Structures are given as C-alpha cells and as structure tokens.
Amino acid sequence: MNFSFQIISFVLMYSVYISFGCGKGVFEWFLKGVISMKKIGIITSGGDCGGLNAVVKGAGLMASRLGITAYVIPNGYAGLYNLIDFSDEELVALNPERADFIDANLAGSEAGHSRVKVRKIDDPNKYERIKKGLEKFGIEGLVISGGDDTGSVMVDLTEHGIKCVHAPKTMDLDLQTYSVGGDSAINRIAMFAQDLKTTGRTHNRIMVVEVFGRYAGHTAFRGGIAADADAILIPEIPTDFDVLYEHCKQRYFDRILNSDVKAGTYLIIVAEGIKDASGRELVDDSAGTDAFGHKKLAGAGKYVCQELTKRFKADPEIPDLMKKARLYVPGIYEIPEVRDVRPGHLVRSGHSSAYDVNFGKEVGGAAVLLLSKGVVGVTVVGVYGTEIRYIPTTEAIRQRHVDLAQVSFHEQQGVCFGRRPENYQPTLRSIEGKVERYM
C-alpha cells in the first residue's frame, strides 16, 4: 500500500468515524495503524568514520522498542541493489541480543559500505529490482546514514517511491547539519599532528600533514587549531605560497635560533582539496573519476612540500640562516627539510569520540521514530528533549563551507591560512533566555 493511498484511506475512514461519532480515541488508533511499520532496513554508505556503529545500534534498539524488526542491509547501496538475491538466513535482524554485539565506540560500520550511485547502475530495471528486494523481506522503509553523495541517492530513492530517512554522516562536516564522524576525525587529526611534532623537532623538519577534505576544510581547520598548527590550508582559500613561505621561514628559524639546543619545527595541516593561488584544484587529469564523478586528487601534501622547497632553494638568505642555526653542511644540508605525512584512513578508523557515539545513537533512534510516523525524505538534525528536529534532505546535502570569519579570528592569533591576514571586526551581542547546545 503506497503512502498516497494510505492518506486517501485515512481521509475516507476519518469521515466515517466522525459520522458515526466514534470519537478522537478511535481516530488516533486508526491513524497509528496507517503509518506504523513492521519491518525496516538500515544502510550505511559512502566513506566510513567514527560514530556509525552508534547510528546502527541506536536505530536497531529504537526499532525493537517500537515493535519493529530492523534488518541490516549489508554494504550500502550495493547490498540494497542485490537484496533480492539474499536468503532469509543471510539477512541479519537487529534484535536486542544481536545489537548488543555492536560496539558503538568502534569506528567503521557493522553494516558495511560501498560507493554506488543507484542512478548510474547499468540496469534499466534497477528501481524495480530494489523494490522487489524490499518486498521480499517485507521492508517498508529505510534508515540511511551517509553524507552528501549518499543523501543524493536517498533523495533519488524517495522520488521513486521508497520511504527513507537520512541520518547525517560525514567526517568532512560539509552537510548543513552536524554529521556523525566529524568530531572523531577532528580528534584523531589533532592527535596524529601533535605526535608528529616530536619527530619534527628532533630533526628540525617542517612537517606537512595532509588530511581529508575535498571541497570543505572543516576537519583540517578544526583539527589544525586543536593541534596548535602553524599553518592550515583549506579548499575555501586559494593558497598564496609566497605568504605561506614567509610565515614558515620566519617562525621556523625564530624557534631554532631562540632554542638553547637549536631545535625547532613548523607544522602545516593541509586539506586534500586545496587550490593554488589561481584557484585551480590539484587533480590528476590522467586518472578517471569515481561513481560520483569525482576526479582523483594529485596529492596536496607533496605539492606543498615542493612549493616550499623550491622557495628555500631560491632564497639567498637561507644559507646564512642555516649557518646561524648551526645546521649548514655544504652539499648535504643547505636548506630546511620539508616532509609530508598522510595519516589517510587512520583518521576515520579506530575508536569514535564520545560526542559522536552520543549523537549517532540519537540520530539513529530518531530516524526510526520519524519513519514510524510516516515522515520520509528528510534528514535528522538532532534530538532536543522531546523534540526531534529534521529538514528536507535536499536542503541538508547542500555544501557547507568553513566560515571565513572564523578563519579571520584565528589569523589574529598568528595562524597562517595561506593568505594575508584579514581584519577581524567582531560584533558584540548579549544573549538572553535559554542557550541551546547539543550536550
């Protein structure tokens, strides 16, 4: 029974109930029957990150509480497409006993992932195949956790009559809402970058740490601030390497010359999607694109190393500075060494932050509650007391970039963002009444 038919039935039956004086209680009983679900599916998709297991567990436990059977549909949209071929024994029901085996504190996803755009599947009957798979197991709605790519597929599925609710997930933090995975990634970036300072200072190296963030630099920005980075390069600001070089040169040599043991380092956090001063994205044009049309990036960390090294070699002041630092060795050690490190998937693995576990359980459970009430095609924003907030998924997946006013604030504290610092002019406002916060 599709939702529009349910609504028509509801209107007709409501008229009958009122005509016979059945009262509000009977009406509410009927309304509950119209929109309740018996079976749902849980999908995680796109890139993995911290907090996803909390989403899966939260959704499974809430479903059980409501008398709904929640099935794990493995491996994202690939699993959804192939659901028709699963046997009853292969599909896992998340009853409380099975949900208990899911460690909400672990990153990654018990449900698995794949990067599949349903619209691009080379099968003219793909949507009917998906619907038949859902019908085979009596699954009436889906909780789908993912980012903008995953969300765009969810919108597509909703438009084809499949009931879905989106639990926001992306470590890039570029959705309009907060998304599970962001806090975990920021914490791990900060931890790894801080650790690298020990080897950087020991060898007097300039350390460049490349992290995820193709279109938005939220995790590089916040992770870099938390790690006490000297420079942070993000996609929102085309990098002027002359500005970066002057900042690096002065701070690096000041540290060494002011150290009684002639030791110093300089830390740069760079998002993978940075652009050069002309605004050009650093992509590998010889490589193909992924399922969502994204070109392979060429390596931002390596590029930053090359640009700084080139300037160190061309700068006539460097030999004298190296001699003052007691580092200069002719033909062997004439300029500072610049090294790049890519923690890569380590920042999205391991353990989740406590914040993401809390948020993940709440949006997973809230997504089930929305489905149970017939609210579909939306993204959960959060749970605020007895209020579950949501917005249309088409709105939620619009790109959200780093606020450059926040960047300007941190420029006043000496952090370089690959541009000339801009003047920060704050406005002051007193807040009255209740101040909302997530926790």
Sheet holding 92-93, edge to edge: 92-93, 69-72, 39-44, 141-146, 164-168, 378-384, 387-392
How far is residue 277's CA from residue 299's CA, in Å, rounded to a whole number? 16
CA–CA separation, 235 and 407 (whole Å):
12
Nearest partner of 173 among 186, 188, 156, judged by Cα: 186
Q: Report the distance separating Cα 281 and Cα 283, nearest Å.
A: 6
In whole angstroms, give the CA distance from residue 388 to residue 59.
14
Contacts (Cβ under 8 Å, ≥6 apart) of 368:
40, 59, 62, 63, 66, 68, 70, 143, 165
Nearest residue to 392 via CA among 381, 400, 383, 401: 381
Neighbours of 191 (CB within 10 A): 17
Q: Which of 148, 149, 172, 183 is catalytic?
A: 172
Using alpha carbons, select from 251, 278, 288 the residue that is nearest to residue 266. 251
The amino acid at residue 378 is V
Reading the block at residue 77, the tokens are 């949209």
Nearest of 352, 373, 385, 397 to residue 35 by alpha carbon: 373
Whether 172 is catalytic is yes
Q: How far apart are CA 128 and CA 266, in angstroms?
A: 56
> Quick one: how far is CA 397 from the chain centroid?
11
Task: Supply 196's token pair.
Answer: 């690298």
Residue type, 48: D
**Cα gap 430→232, rounded to integer Å:** 31
Helices of type H across 293-436:
300-314, 318-324, 354-372, 393-396, 404-411
Question: Directed axis angle between helix 182-202 and helix 354-372, to 10°?
Answer: 160
Q: How far apart are CA 184 and CA 178, in angstroms?
A: 12
- The answer to whether 400 and 215 are in contact (CB under 8 A) is no
Which residues participate in catalysis according to the annotation? 172
